[in-house]
């Protein structure tokens, strides 16, 4: 490497570091490594087509190391870019290896330059768009749209976004559920019956009616009352169908239920049967 | 612009009036197009005073209105005076063309939009499958509404026992939602990446069997409550 | 509207066509004022199809629009073409007169502006391509916001591995930014000539985020069955 090149290099390094340090403070303001590179490139040359990718890589690396010296945490993609630029730099500095396949350093540098130019072009385009005559600010639509009511039709409206959100909701099942359950505080007898039928098989021993109340129907008095009534009706239904037996020691004593064992014939089992204290 | 009328302006106006003798007033044609634009864009009929407040000093609003009224004579839209105010109105003989404007927009119920989404993503899909995916039963009315809206229609019968009918989406559906084909609907992953899907909880969770907004929810849901097993 | 072809309608149409021969078509001037009335009455751009649906059979809407466009040249209100649709809009140089009607335009983040520009200039464009151009992943809610503003929508899926969805701009976008079509985007010709709109693939850059292949393929897969193609 020629010496004057090395000297120039040192001088530039100092300048780069100064730029980099000025930028470090503001690292949060960058939208990713490409944005940072574009800013560095702009510091280098106004015409992006004439920037030196080698210098740019050097500036970027200086920036990253300065940020690290200052113990500023950089997002991983900044470091990935740094590693890649370091590698690109070595590729640009070393004579090309005729054996190596894949893109040459020059090609990679050209693509990076293209990316920077493209990003800047889009940024400019965005600014131009925003600066156009805009509807509702510079240009106006009819302020008094006329709707002469002759025929009134109902049109249901839903946007694609509504549709996508609905699907997302269905697929993830994480809809917002309010704490107060706005369900009618009535448990239907059918519901209680279905539930009881499926549970009764497991109840060989006398079990309190209350143990069969569904979760969520046990605390709130209104709901509990409805659940007890429905479950009681369902119990009677099961007894009538010969699927269960029911027992009560005395009037207003707890009601107990168990599955009807075929051939047990113990239909009038005494109230002394030990019952589970399975109160929920 | 000159729409403020605080005292300093009154002084300014006097000056401007004098200036008006020095500088040319706005050409009448320009005044006319200004009035035209204002009357087109405002939501309320404008009185002479309203118009004056918006227009540059020295505008002869009355003259501009007269020119404008003549210009729109016999056109599809007329300039009409309503009390003290002015507005554009459709020519009375063309009112019938606007009859289609009278539509009531209503939002689709949550059950309906979810059902529609499921049909869109899973078509051809049977009612039982829709219910399985939503975790709640689908009322006949919901499907009827969607069919009436011409967003879904019956597809082929499924060649399974019972030969259930299937539902598919229509061209009307694509039209309404601005899709070129149902294939263009984004996948779950893409929805999440577009930020449409809140991924606080992992997908693939068991179907929730409760939907408190759905009255005809199957009655067996408490069965699946593990706490409840005796 | 006219996408159903059930017999009664077809019959009615045939009758109308015959009538068209019996009765003179509407004079052009009359057609022009009808189109004028409809476009004046609605705030939303109307497509040729919308207009045809409202006008009597045999109306030469294209011709009427051309006449109307010429008539409103240089006026306070212009007839403008927005994609496939037409609308009256106030002349841009008079915007200051309507400052009271001005709505607060939502300030967009830099990310949103850039993303919008990329969709506009590169459409149809995939999320991965947007990310490749910006060098960062598309932040949550950006595409969402642009869709909500009705500036972008889903286009066709790209027929590449993973079949990613694409984004394109809407008529609402053209309307908002006063563009007749995406070909009129500022500087688009120059950018194309400079090769900056080419889809140049990266020779092994770390910036190309190639995660279009989504791992949990959405459940709508059967939809994308090639046998299903219409």
Dihedral, CA atoms, C110, C116, C119, C121, nearest 10 degrees?
A: -90
Q: What is the pLDDT of residue C224?
A: 32
**According to the model, what pLDDT value does residue A276 have?**
39
pLDDT tens by residue, B37-52 = 999 999 889 999 999 9
Assign A279 a pLDDT band (cuts: 50, 70, 90): very low
Q: Is the Cβ pair B34, C94 closer than 8 Å?
A: yes
- pLDDT at position A154 is 61
pLDDT 10s digits, C119-158: 999 999 999 999 999 988 887 789 989 999 999 999 999 8
Question: Do the Cβ atoms of C216 and B123 come within 8 Å?
Answer: no
- Encoded tokens for C44: 């939303």
**Inter-chain CB proximity A172 and B87 less than 8 Å:** no
* Residue in A37, A112, A122 closest to C133 by CB: A122
The answer to whether C178 faces chain A, any CB pair under 8 Å, is yes
| pLDDT at residue B10 is higher than 70 | no
Query: Rounded to whole angstroms, how far apart are CA atoms B203 and B196?
Result: 13
The Cα A155–Cα A230 span in angstroms is: 42
**pLDDT tens sequence across C202-211:** 665 444 444 4
Helical ranges in chain B per DSSP H = 7-22, 28-41, 48-54, 61-71, 110-122, 127-134, 140-148, 171-177, 188-193
pLDDT in tens, A243-269: 888 888 887 788 888 887 654 444 444
Sign of CA dihedral C48, C50, C51, C55: positive
High-pLDDT (> 90) share of chain A, %: 8
Residue numbers of C between 128 and 157 with CB closer than 8 Å to B: 138-144, 153-157
Q: Residue A257 forms beta bridges with which residues?
A: A207, A246
C-beta atoms surrounding C28 within 10 Å: 13
Shortest alpha-carbon distance between residue C71 and chain A (Å):
18
Are C3 and B172 an interchain contact pair (Cβ–Cβ within 8 Å)?
yes
Question: Among A82-96, A150-164, B154-168, whose mean pLDDT is lowest?
Answer: A150-164
Q: Which residues of A are less than 8 Å from B113 in CB distance? A: 158, 162-163, 166
> Which residue in chain B has the smallest CA separation from A161?
B196
Q: What percent of chain C has pLDDT over 70?
A: 76
Give dist(CA A138, CA B222) in Å, integer: 59
Q: pLDDT tens digits, residue range C179-227?
A: 999 999 999 999 999 889 987 766 654 444 444 333 333 333 333 333 3
Q: Is B147 exposed, middle or buried (0-12, 13-18, 19+ CB in 10 A)?
A: middle
Question: Chain B: residue nearest C223 by CA?
Answer: B183
| Residues in C touching A142 (Cβ below 8 Å) | 40-43, 88
Highest mean pLDDT among A124-133, A177-186, B169-178: A124-133
A137–C103 CB contact, under 8 Å:
yes
Across the interface, whether the CB atoms of B207 and A146 are under 8 A apart is answered no
pLDDT at C146: 93
Question: Are the Cβ atoms of B222 and A159 closer than 8 angstroms?
Answer: no
Q: Tell me which of B32, B46, B57, B77 to substitute to probe the interface with C (most C C-beta atoms closer than 10 Å).
A: B77
DSSP type of residue C184: G
pLDDT beyond 80 at B224: no
Section C32-46 average pLDDT: 92
Percent of chain C with pLDDT over 90: 51
Q: Is B123 helix (H, G, I), strand (E, B) or coil?
A: coil
| Inter-chain CB proximity B106 and A216 less than 8 Å | no
Smallest CA–CA distance, residue C28 to chain A, in Å, is 24
What confidence score (pLDDT) does residue A25 get?
Answer: 55
Mean pLDDT within A163-184: 63
Say what the pLDDT of residue A183 is: 56
Confidence of residue C38 (pLDDT cuts 50, 70, 90): very high
Find chain B residues with C-beta within 8 A of A171's C-beta: 188, 197, 203
| DSSP designation for A261 | P
Q: Within 10 A of A98 (CB to CB), how many other CB atoms are there?
A: 5
Tell me the average pLDDT of chain A: 75
pLDDT tens sequence across B201-217: 333 333 333 333 333 33
Q: How far is B223 from chain A (nearest CA, A)?
A: 6
Q: Is the pTM of this model over 0.80?
A: no
C77: closest chain B residue by CA? B37
- Tell me the pLDDT band of B173, cut-offs 50, 70 and 90: confident
Sorting pLDDT into bands at 50, 70 and 90, what band is B73?
A: very high
Sign for the pseudo-dihedral over CA of B116, B121, B127, B130: negative
The pLDDT of residue B102 is 52
Q: Which residues of C touch A112 (CB under 8 A)?
A: 205
Statement: residue C69 has pLDDT above 90: yes
Judge: B123–C154 Cβ closer than 8 Å, yes or no. no
pLDDT at A17: 62
Does residue B115 surpass a pLDDT of 70? yes
Q: How far, in whole angstroms, is CA A191 from its chain's centroid?
A: 35
| Weakest mean pLDDT among A125-139, A204-218, B3-17 | B3-17
């Amino acid at each position: 490497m020629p010496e004057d090149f090395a000297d120039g290099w040192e001088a530039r390094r100092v300048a780069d570091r100064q730029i980099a340090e000025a930028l470090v403070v503001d690292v949060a303001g960058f939208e990713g490594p490409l944005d940072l590179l574009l800013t560095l490139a702009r510091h280098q040359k106004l015409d992006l087509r004439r920037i030196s990718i080698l210098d740019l890589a050097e500036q970027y690396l200086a920036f990253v190391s300065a940020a690290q010296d200052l113990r500023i945490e950089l997002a991983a993609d900044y470091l990935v870019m740094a590693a890649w630029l370091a590698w690109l730099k070595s590729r640009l500095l070393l004579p090309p290896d005729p054996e190596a396949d894949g893109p040459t350093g020059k090609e990679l540098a050209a693509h990076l330059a293209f990316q920077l130019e493209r990003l800047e072009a889009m940024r400019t385009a965005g600014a131009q768009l925003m600066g156009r005559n805009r509807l509702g600010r510079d240009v106006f639509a009819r302020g008094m749209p006329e709707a002469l009511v002759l025929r009134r039709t109902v049109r249901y409206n839903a946007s694609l976004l509504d549709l996508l959100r609905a699907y997302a909701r269905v697929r993830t099942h994480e809809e917002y559920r309010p704490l107060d359950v706005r369900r009618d505080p009535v448990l239907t007898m059918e519901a209680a019956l279905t539930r009881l039928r499926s549970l009764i098989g497991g109840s060989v021993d006398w079990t309190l009616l209350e143990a069969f109340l569904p979760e969520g129907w046990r605390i709130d008095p209104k709901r509990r009352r409805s659940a007890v009534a429905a479950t009681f009706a369902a119990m009677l239904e099961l007894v009538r169908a010969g699927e269960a037996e029911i027992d009560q020691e005395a009037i207003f004593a707890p009601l107990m239920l168990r599955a009807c064992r075929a051939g047990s014939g113990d239909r009038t089992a005494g109230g002394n049967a030990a019952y589970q204290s399975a109160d929920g | 612009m000159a729409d403020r009328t605080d005292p300093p302006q009154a002084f300014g106006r006097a000056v401007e009036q004098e200036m008006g003798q020095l500088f040319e007033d706005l050409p009448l044609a320009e005044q006319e197009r200004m009035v035209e634009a204002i009357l087109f864009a405002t939501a309320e009929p404008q009185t002479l005073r309203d118009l004056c407040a918006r227009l540059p000093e020295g505008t002869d609003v009355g003259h501009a209105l007269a020119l404008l009224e003549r210009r729109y004579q016999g056109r599809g839209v007329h300039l009409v005076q309503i009390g003290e105010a002015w507005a554009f109105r459709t020519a009375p003989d063309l009112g019938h063309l606007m009859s289609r404007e009278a539509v009531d927009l209503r939002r689709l119920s949550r059950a309906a939009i979810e059902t529609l989404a499921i049909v869109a993503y899973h078509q051809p899909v049977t009612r039982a499958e829709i219910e399985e995916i939503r975790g709640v039963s689908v009322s006949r009315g919901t499907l009827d509404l969607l069919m009436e809206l011409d967003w879904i229609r019956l597809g082929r019968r499924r060649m399974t026992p019972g030969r259930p009918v299937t539902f598919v989406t229509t061209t009307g559906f694509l039209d309404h939602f601005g899709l070129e084909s149902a294939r263009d609907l984004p996948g779950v992953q893409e929805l999440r990446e577009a930020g449409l899907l809140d991924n606080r909880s992992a997908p693939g969770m068991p179907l929730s069997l409760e939907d408190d907004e759905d009255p005809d929810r199957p009655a067996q849901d408490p069965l699946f409550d593990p706490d409840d097993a005796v």
